[in-house]
Amino acid sequence: MFSFGDSVAETGNICVVSSVNATELDALTCTHRPYGITYFGRPSCRWCDGRIVVDFIAQSLGLPLLPPSKSKGKDFSRGANMAITDPVWNHGSLSVQIQWFEKLIPSICATKRNCKEFLAKSLFQFGGFGGNDYNVQLLELGLTIEQAKRLIALGALHIVVPGILPTGCLPLFLTLFTDDELDQYGCLKRFNRLTEYHNSMLRKQLQILQGKHRSTRIMYADYYSQVYHMVQQPKKFGLSNPFEACCGAGGGKYNFDLSARCGMTGATTACRNRSARLSWDGVHPTEAANKMIADAWLNGPYCTPPILS
């Protein structure tokens, strides 16, 4: 299994890249407690209290947690994660990740024929985009499709492409845009309209791509609908306070403040019942939410077709 994406799919590349600079590494709040507390018992360079969606999917497939592709001395024979939270995210980011993957493959499978067979049996997953990387990702719709084409050309037969989270429901944006109009559930209308438009265009492009590559299984993972349903009916999913960040020192309705984010000084305590929260740090989902999302991608109904179908 091979994964690409941003902070929603990050499992350590940014920490590997930043490890040569102690100051830069310390500035990453995901390297501070209470990140990682639920599953790892310590920060794991994931923007979550525990596992993220790609972790749950890997474990469900009987695979180890995907090692960051920039790690040294790791075994990548069962997969790798190219995702990275780049503080200077640019329009070549996904393209760069594909380049990393292309350089990595020869070390796993020696010949072109062996690589074709290896890749045909592998699952490729683009990360669900959202939060702090959202603005650039809106502009990268075409780029995402282009990278999917590159994977298909390499021999990929199973590709998962998620849409964008309902950004209008994120504590981050709800805190920053207090004067915007809210919908009946408490989400920012214009942000969600923009996200819906992006996701609809992405689905159309994927349908076109699928039509050109019948032997490839392209799966659209509907991040938006599932998370929005969690906001609309939190009790149905065993959740409460869907707009309140579990970790942070912002206080108020959303518990989010850019200057008091999770992991910063004074913001190192998480909420008591993490398993009943949707938002971990105001941007990224909790481990509990990630598990529900992964289950719905593996078995349906929020992935078309489901990964395990």
- Residues forming a β-bridge with 285: 279
Boundaries of every domain in the chain: 2-304
Joined tokens for residue 61: 């497939």
Which uninterrupted H or E stretch holds 113?
helix 112-120
7, 44, 69, 93: the catalytic one is: 7
Distances (CA, A) of 302 to 33, 160, 221, 265, 297: 32, 12, 6, 38, 6
Residue 216: helix, strand or coil by DSSP? coil
Measure the CA–CA gap between 13 and 85, rounded to whole angstroms. 8
* pLDDT at residue 134 greater than cutoff 90: no
**Residue 284 annotated in active site:** yes
Distances (CA, A) of 132 to 105, 184, 296, 302: 30, 25, 24, 23
CB-based contact 3:81 (threshold 8 Å): yes
32, 158, 198, 284: the catalytic one is: 284
Q: Specify the CATH number of the domain 2-304.
A: 3.40.50
The predicted model gives 105-121 an average pLDDT of: 93
| 171-193 residue pLDDT tens | 999 999 999 999 999 999 999 99
- Return the DSSP state at 125: E
CB-based contact 6:63 (threshold 8 Å): no
Environment class of residue 154 by beta-carbon count within 10 Å: exposed (0-12), middle (13-18) or buried (19+)? Answer: middle
Question: Pairing relation of β-strands 303-304 and 217-221?
Answer: antiparallel
| 137-164 residue pLDDT tens | 555 556 678 889 999 999 999 999 999 8
The string of DSSP codes covering 143-206 is: HHHHHHHHHHHHT--EEEEE-B--GGGSHHHHHH-TTSPB-TTS-BHHHHHHHHHHHHHHHHHH
**Residue 180 annotated in active site:** no
| 44-92 residue pLDDT tens | 999 999 999 999 999 999 999 999 999 999 999 999 999 988 654 444 4
Q: Which of 10, 32, 37 has the alpha carbon at shortest distance from 274?
A: 37
Q: What percent of the chain is predicted at pLDDT more than 70?
A: 93
**Residue 213 annotated in active site:** no
The overall pTM is greater than 0.85: yes
* pLDDT at residue 127 greater than cutoff 90: no
